[in-house]
Structure 1
């Protein structure tokens, strides 16, 4: 009990408005964009509104609990979320499987992810990636959101331009609250321009629905394994990269294990997968959350709490975000990521020997290509690793390994 009281006192003393708002913005961005993919996926199999609400409840509560637990445990802004590429994958091929079989596949994917965490295979892979390549990948992910800030200034200048100006002025005089000031000004302008309408917004509590899982070989292979792959490659790898880019050397295995277990536990309620977040995590790991890196974990706790609040109201919370202009969400997201974009670009190009590999990583990630359902961040990572090996790796080992394989094959044939 004493340790719990001490923990609460520390959280209270470390709390700041900027960190709390960073958590709010992060979750708002998550609900304003990626959660809409859940609605599209639900239409593929004509999922009932009750099951849809349960699904959103499950991914929100699971993300909230894991964000809070991991942020407190490691004193770092660890932000989790649901699998966005997983939702995209469901949109393209969910109709071939029964809903209960899909639940079984979600559980199977969670088990695979947990095993990868326990064995340490994923951690070993991450340790072998040069820091410059990780930060270049992060820069490629985030750059589009920075550019969109100024694209929005053309689409809705009366809203975007004052928000940008407010950010710059605040950055000069009280930098910790620059994003907060811009957000509130954007809300005020939206209301004054009558581009928000609260009519038709109804809020009600969710009644979670437990679905007994069934297991079929086709769903395990067709849904479970691909879901595990895209989650690990496109979400967990980039999420760990975000933490590394901002100086957090949080152990990888506990993060993967925790999200894997959460995926298993909440799958019967509809959750298709919980993982490390990349985009919204960057909002909480940068200087805008707090100048002191040791106090940014409050942003992770804040995000977790807002996840829980939003999850309780399920699908209806989306209607609240829908009333705000998309330009407001785009601008505030980009402004909140300015610091992370700048620091990741700087880190990527600091080491002369890694510049070429970092540049290729950045460009491939920025290209937005998708191969076999896996997004550009993963392929940017692979391209950077290959480039780095080609330019500075020991190629003699590669050729000697090939020679040994040919000799063994020749001896086998002779024998």
Structure 2
């Protein structure tokens, strides 16, 4: 046991939690969650991270680090269709159930795997780009707050990209207070409570939110997470990981929590030699990572209250800057395949447009448009080859 094991685990949890909590809070607001439901949402996610990371790491003796679906939270927050928490919980249950089915039913996983990477990445980019653009929209509203934070982010990422967003969050809180932009802060850290939210299964929300949430989680979180484990020299037990995270997603959905999945960026902090020089002992980061999330779960309500007191422009800035890296990766994956570039761009613009029809959001229509373009292109190529 080395101190580096504990340090790597705690840093990974801090980066994952602090760097993306703003996105989850935005998602909760978009879904119509009240303060109690928002804190329950965050608490449910933290409990899922604690249980799944500790169990999987101990069970398989490899550093399996889980996270909430940040692209999924962005998808929820970007929805232009009113959802409501009851219908959102129904969509979360569908997404979690599909992850469970993927672990048990191999053909379903193969079907998801057949969605071209370029189109899936373009759908994600279309969701994320609105958040990044919101940073500069906020700069027009609050230039004294936003522009210094953008400058800090650009400098901090040169030193340590993992800590850049946390540096922006800390500096933004202090600057907001100095500018008199913050609301009343909680008196102290109080223990959290959870709320039970009954699901409702509305077909339009299931198709427009639940299905894209599943696809985004699989394509943008689980697949990169498996790649991180593989790059570190570990054979990932895919079915076990999907089964455990899918079950956790189903169990925590009635608390308001959206999907749980493998981590990618934060996992890299726990799977490399900085965590432990012996690859066979890095699994110990999992339980310490889980213990850190238990602390976050205990004080989830107070942490959400702190974010609620921050100005909206700061929350949008932190969220947008946190998603700038994922957007870069999504655009690179979407536009790297020249044969599928047109379909990818079509997917991106339809998704980013916010277009909705039949109460189904733009992420679904963007995916449908891209797949249709690919089918037409493939048919045209086969016809010309005759």
TM-score by length of 1: 0.67
Cα shift readout 1:34-79 (whole Å, capped 9, x = no counterpart): 23356x3569xxxxx6x88767644542354336656886756642
**Cα 1:134–1:70, aligned 2, differ >3 Å: closer, same or farther?**
farther
Question: Distance in 1 between the 2:7 and 2:46 partners?
Answer: 27
Q: Within 5 Å, give how 1:236-255 maps onto structure 2.
A: 236-243=214-221, 244=223, 247-248=227-228, 253-255=239-241
Following TM superposition, by how much is the alpha carbon of 1:163 offset from its aligned partner in structure 2, in angstroms? 1.0
**Cα 1:33–1:300, aligned 2, differ >3 Å: closer, same or farther?**
farther
Structure 1 stretches of 5 or more lacking a match?
44-48, 96-101, 214-218, 398-415
**Cα 1:377–1:22, aligned 2, differ >3 Å: closer, same or farther?**
farther
Which residue in the other structure is 1:139 paired with?
A: 125
Which residue, 142, 150, 153 being the options, matches 1:167?
A: 153
Matched, 1:336 2:332: no
**Cα 1:275–1:232, aligned 2, differ >3 Å: closer, same or farther?**
same
Matched, 1:320 2:306: yes
Contact 1:198 1:323 in 2 (8 A): yes
Question: Distance in 2 between the 1:291 and 1:245 partners?
Answer: 15
Q: Within 5 Å, give how 1:56-205 maps onto structure 2.
A: 57-66=43-52, 75=63, 78-80=66-68, 91-92=83-84, 94=86, 114-172=100-158, 175=161, 177-201=163-187, 203-205=189-191
Q: Within 5 Å, give how 1:206-221 maps onto structure 2.
A: 206=192
Cα shift readout 1:68-116 (whole Å, capped 9, x = no counterpart): 6568867566422598688989955959xxxxxx999987986565335
Cα shift readout 1:2-36 (whole Å, capped 9, x = no counterpart): xxx5xx7774475585x454213344224432233
Matched, 1:22 2:22: no
The alignment's C-alpha RMSD in Å is: 4.7
**Cα 1:137–1:208, aligned 2, differ >3 Å: closer, same or farther?**
closer
Structure 2 stretches of 5 or more lacking a match?
231-235, 276-281
Cα shift readout 1:241-294 (whole Å, capped 9, x = no counterpart): 223468557776545432432244446xx43564247xxx9xx74599869989
Q: Within 5 Å, give how 1:5-20 maps onto structure 2.
A: 11-12=5-6, 14=8, 17=11, 19-20=12-13
Query: Aligned pair count?
Result: 362
Question: Distance in 2 between the 1:16 and 1:93 partners?
Answer: 31
Matched, 1:33 2:26: yes
Question: Distance in 2 between the 1:115 and 1:366 partners?
Answer: 29
Which residue in the other structure is 2:259 paired with?
A: 275
Question: Distance in 1 between the 2:267 and 2:309 partners?
Answer: 26
Contact 2:131 2:320 in 1 (8 A): yes
Contact 1:112 1:228 in 2 (8 A): no
Which residue in the other structure is 1:260 paired with?
A: 246
Question: Distance in 1 between the 2:237 and 2:340 partners?
Answer: 25
Q: What secondary structure, in the 3-state scheme, does the structure 2 residue paired with 1:34 have?
A: helix
Which residue in the other structure is 2:233 paired with?
A: none
Query: Which of 1 and 2 has greater Rg?
Result: 1
Contact 2:13 2:292 in 1 (8 A): no
Contact 2:95 2:259 in 1 (8 A): no
TM-score by length of 2: 0.71
**Cα 1:125–1:393, aligned 2, differ >3 Å: closer, same or farther?**
farther
Following TM superposition, by how much is the alpha carbon of 1:396 offset from its aligned partner in structure 2, in angstroms? 6.8
Question: Distance in 2 between the 1:111 and 1:291 partners?
Answer: 28
